[in-house]
Amino acid sequence: MKRAAVTGATSMIGAALIRECIANNVEVLAIVRRQSARLDRLPKSDLVKLYECELDELDTAGGDGQEYDAFYHLAWAYTSKADRDDPVLQEMNIRYTLEAVKLAHRLGCSRFIFAGSQAEYGRVDHVITPYTEINPLISYGMAKYAAGMLGRKLCSRYGMLHIWGRIFSVYGCYDNEGTMLNYAIDQFIKGEPAGFSAAVQLWDYLWEDDAGKIFYLLGERVNESKVYCIANGKPRPLREYIMEMKKAFGGNPECVFESEPDPKAINLQADVSELVKDIGYTPDTSFEEGIKKMIRFRKGRGEL
């Protein structure tokens, strides 16, 4: 892979993917929204070229006149908690995905890498594989699955590989505000108690740079249309992560847990054996290392 185009370039995983591309001397067309407030997330490099384009403009986008090898579609609109279960808003993402496939075809790409989600599976209490039955509970997961299936159909028509990575739980310095980890760290910084559920469900955290490298390798090494679970592959009870975060923060921040487990809580247990077999990579960063970087970053002293 010599050139890659990326939508969602300023997202947590997008920025990590671009850093990995630069490390491997791959030129990147970073497709960003007009007047994006997150451009400072992108590394400064002659290998990165910005292309301003809103999602609803992908149908007329022409690129920069260069041909590209791989197209990573990481962008997704309406991801706030209030919008995730709005079927009308989520349906728009399906159309945006199909326009992204068309753009990838116009750019001469041979492969299309789509960022799916564990939300496509719904509530599953056992280990999830790429072949686990799909049963999404909310419009976000339904739209991800529909976009993936229709995008794969269109890729087949164009003779492009369709590589589908279903993301489980990625964390990092550029994670969205309001996540459990960001909330807890901010409470610790303020010296206030952090409240949690009973936190007994199994969870699987993957550091942002490891996720970026995995997506890079999907575009570099996979030579067939497949679905993968993007996760660490070593689930642990959520409370263990929280207590490790508390230890990494130092001092004695207060954690308050609910006494009864939430019956609606979702467990995340992913089988990543197919991923490891096909790209030959396992995550480099332990949760202890990653959460220490997040804490430094939230305190305002972090460096990526």
Residue 133 falls within a domain, yes or no? Answer: yes
Flag whether 279 is in a domain: no
Q: What share of the chain is helix, strand, coil (3-state, %, to 5)?
A: 40, 20, 40
Residue 185's pLDDT is: 96
Residue 264 sits in a domain whose CATH number is: 3.90.25.10
pLDDT of 304 higher than 80: no
Q: What CA–CA distance (Å, rounded) separates 5 from 69? A: 8
In this structure, the answer to whether residues 262 and 180 fall within a common structural domain is yes
Say whether both 70 and 141 belong to one domain. yes
Q: Is residue 194 included in any domain, yes or no?
A: yes
Whether 259 and 181 map to the same domain: the answer is: yes
**What integer best gives the mean pLDDT of the chain?**
95
Q: Other C-beta atoms within 10 Å of 243: how many?
A: 13
Mean pLDDT value of segment 268-296? 95
Residues 46 and 189 in one domain: no
Question: In this structure, is residue 274 part of a structural domain?
Answer: no
> Does the global pTM surpass 0.85?
yes
Q: Are residues 265 and 245 in the same domain?
A: yes
Q: Is the domain of 119 the same as that of 212? A: yes
Q: In the chain, how many domains are there? A: 2
For residue 240, being part of any structural domain is answered with yes
Domain coverage including residue 289 = 176-204+234-269+285-298
* Residue 27, both tokens: 């030129």
Q: Does the structure show a pLDDT above 90 at 35?
A: no
Query: 166 forms bridges with which residues in the sheet?
Result: 116, 229
For the segment 150-197, what is each residue's pLDDT rounded down to a tens digit?
A: 999 999 999 999 999 999 999 999 998 889 999 999 999 999 999 999
**Which of 137-141, 238-242, 263-267 is predicted with the least confidence, judged by mean pLDDT?**
263-267
Question: How far does Cα 125 stand from its chain's mean position?
Answer: 22
CA atoms within 13 A on the CB side of 126: 5
* Any domain includes 278: no
Mean pLDDT within 226-250: 96
pLDDT band at 287 (very low <50, low <70, confident <90, very high): very high
Residue 61 pLDDT greater than 80, yes or no: yes
The residue that leads in pLDDT, 262 or 180, is: 180
User: Using one digit for the tens of pLDDT, what is the confidence trace for 87-111?
Assistant: 999 999 999 999 999 999 999 999 9
Specify the CATH number for the domain of residue 26: 3.40.50.720
Residue 301 is predicted with a pLDDT of 58
| 188 and 134 housed in the same domain | no
Domain-embedded: residue 15: yes
Report the alpha-carbon distance of residue 138 to residue 86 in Å, rounded.
Answer: 8
